[in-house]
Amino acid sequence: MDTWKGIIGASFTPATFDQYCHLLHWLAWRPSFIVLHNTSIPTLADRPNGLSKGNILDLENYYRHVQHWSAGPHLFIDDHQIWVFTPLTVSGVHSPSWNKLALGIEMLGEYQTEPFNSGRGAQVHANAVAAVATLSAVLGLDPATMKLHKEDPLTTHKGCPGKHVVKAAFINEVQALLAERHGGEHTPAPIV
């Protein structure tokens, strides 16, 4: 029996992603936090133009027919756009301990070796911060609860999302963007 949850398969700018998320209703499942990943394969170098609709459909085939999973991660973020993969209102498959609890966000790149604060990695970084800020605002999540995939005690991907992704700095950027967007109302203190 096929238990595939389907994909949205649509791409957004940070602004249109924010608009999209404000139209959603989390009735059957509500995530408690966000888990950040990097794709590793493909790298930024492997996708010089970012992800295409064809790449997203290939990922659907991989997760559904090769891995035999019921879903994949919720978002794929590259240097051009934010792709909604698994519907945000249902649980995905991305991190063994946290699939039923968290949204999974994949960032295009291998941030063990590729830069996250310069070049194309910096734009992936900016798009990811914008996406996490939107999801935190819409769902009422504290950005400080975000986890990195490598923090999952059951994962075999102990380097994900790579040494160039610094959790505290990323969370501080999300909090700063939330403060900018919402006037600092109830913004948690920066992580040190």
CATH number, domain at 39?
3.40.80.10
Reading the chain (192 residues) residue by residue, the pLDDT tens digits are 579 999 999 999 999 999 999 999 999 899 999 999 999 999 999 999 999 999 999 999 999 999 999 999 999 999 999 999 999 999 999 999 999 999 999 999 999 999 999 999 999 999 999 999 999 999 999 999 999 999 999 988 889 999 999 999 999 999 999 999 987 555 454 554
For residue 11, give the DSSP letter.
E
1 part of a folded domain: no
Which region holds residue 96: left if phi is over 0, alpha if psi is between -120 and 50, else beta? alpha
Helix (H) / strand (E) containing 122: helix 119-139
Q: Which residues pair with 34 in a beta bridge?
A: 103
| Per-residue confidence (pLDDT) for residue 187, from 0 to 100 | 47
81 part of a folded domain: no
The whole-angstrom separation of Cα 94 and Cα 84 is 14
| Per-residue confidence (pLDDT) for residue 77, from 0 to 100 | 98
132 part of a folded domain: yes
135 part of a folded domain: yes
The whole-angstrom separation of Cα 108 and Cα 59 is 13
15 part of a folded domain: no
Specify the number of domains making up the chain: 1
Range of the domain at 135: 31-73+92-110+121-182
